[in-house]
Amino acid sequence: MRTAYGEGVTAIDEALPLFPTDSMEFSLQDLRDARDKIQRIILEYTFGLREIETKISILRDEFLQMHDYNPIEHVSSRVKTPDSIIEKITRKNIARDVASIREHITDIAGVRVTCSFVRDAYRLFDLLTAQDDLSVRLVKDYIAKPKPNGYKSLHVIMDVPVYLSSGKLIVPVEVQFRTIAMDFWASLEHKIYYKYSGQVPGTLLTDLKLAADTAAHLDAHMERLHHELHEPDAGAPPAR
C-alpha cells in the first residue's frame, strides 16, 4: 500500500510508536526500526526545507538582478538532529509515534531570513506567504509583540508540498524573518543561555533586555536614515 507519506509507508505505519510500548526492553531490531523512522522524518523535512530555500533564493536573485535594492542580507537553515527530536519528544511528553511527531513538532525544519530593516521582514513575509502552493499554519509576530526578554522575530509555520515518487507529502517548515540587529541579539542571548544552562543571573537578564531595546532603537534609526536617503521627500516610513 502506498500513501502520500512516502514509498511503502502507510497510515498504519504513521500511528505505530517509534518503540514498542508494552515493554521497556528493546531489541536491536526495535532500535533499528526507530532509527529508520527518524531518518525518514528528517529526510522528508529536508525536502520541505529545500522547497522553501528555493523560493527564497528566487526572490533574492530577482531583487539582485531586477531591482535597485535587495532586502535579503543572508539566509540560514537547519534540520533538527535525531537527538534534538527525541529530546523534544521527551520534554513535551509527545506520543512516540510518527503522526504525533508531525502534528506537535513543527520546527524540525527551519529557515531564517535576515533582512536589513523591519519593513523588509514584513515585505518578504508577505511575498512568501502569498505563494499559492504554500499554506500558512501559524504566525507568531514577536516584532509587533516581543517576548518579555526582548526577543524579536516574525515566525511563520508553513505547510509545504513535497512530491515524492509515491505522491504528495505535506511538510511543515518554520520560517523566521528578522533584522540584522535582532539576529545579533538573538545569537548573543542563545550563547548566554547555553553558558548558564538556562539559569541566567538576573543582572544579565536585565542587561539583555536593555540590549534588545537598544537594538530596536538602532533598527528604527537606520530604517529612517535609509528611507530619507532613498525617498527624501516621502517623510518617515509608516509604522507597521
- Residues 66-89: tens digit of each pLDDT: 998 899 999 999 999 988 888 888
Q: What is the pLDDT of residue 40?
A: 86
Question: Which range (4-13, 97-106, 114-123) has the least confidence?
Answer: 4-13
Q: Which CATH superfamily is domain 11-181 in?
A: Beta Polymerase, domain 2 (3.30.460.10)
Q: What is the pLDDT of residue 111?
A: 98
pLDDT at residue 240 above 70?
A: no
pLDDT: is 232 or 103 the higher one? 103
Question: Which range (63-77, 84-98, 117-131, 207-221) has the least confidence?
Answer: 84-98
Q: What is the pLDDT of residue 2?
A: 35
The pTM assigned to this predicted structure is: 0.80
Exposure of 228 by Cβ count < 10 A (0-12 exposed, 13-18 middle, 19+ buried)?
A: middle
pLDDT at residue 235 above 70?
A: no
Nearest alpha carbon to residue 151 among 77, 208, 106, 89: 208
Q: What is the pLDDT of residue 201?
A: 87
Residue indicated by cell numbers 529557515: 111
Q: What is the pLDDT of residue 96?
A: 77
Domain range summary for the chain, segments of one domain joined by +: 11-181
DSSP annotation string for 205-228: HHHHHHHHHHHHHHHHHHHHHHHH
DSSP annotation string for the chain: --BTTBTT--HHHHHSBSS-SS-S---HHHHHHHHHHHHHHHHHHHHHHHHHHHHHHHHHHHHHHHSS---EEEEEEEE--HHHHHHHHHHTT--SBHHHHHHH---SEEEEEEESSHHHHHHHHHHHHT-TT-EEEEEEETTTS--TT----EEEEEEEEEEETTEEEEEEEEEEEEEHHHHHHHHHHHHHHHHTTT---HHHHHHHHHHHHHHHHHHHHHHHHHHHHH-TTS-SPPP-
If pLDDT is split at 50, 70 and 90, which confidence band does 37 have?
confident
User: What is the tens place of the pLDDT at every residue in 140-186?
Assistant: 999 999 999 999 999 999 999 999 998 999 999 999 999 999 999 99
With pLDDT > 90 as the criterion, what percentage of the chain qualifies?
Answer: 55
> Cell digits for 75?
539566509
What is the pLDDT of the chain when averaged over all its residues? Answer: 85
Mean pLDDT, residues 106-118 taken together = 95
Q: What is the pLDDT of residue 17?
A: 58
pLDDT: is 20 or 222 the higher one? 222
Catalytically active residues, by annotation:
174
With pLDDT > 70 as the criterion, what percentage of the chain qualifies?
Answer: 83
If pLDDT is split at 50, 70 and 90, which confidence band does 10 have?
very low
pLDDT: is 178 or 103 the higher one? 178
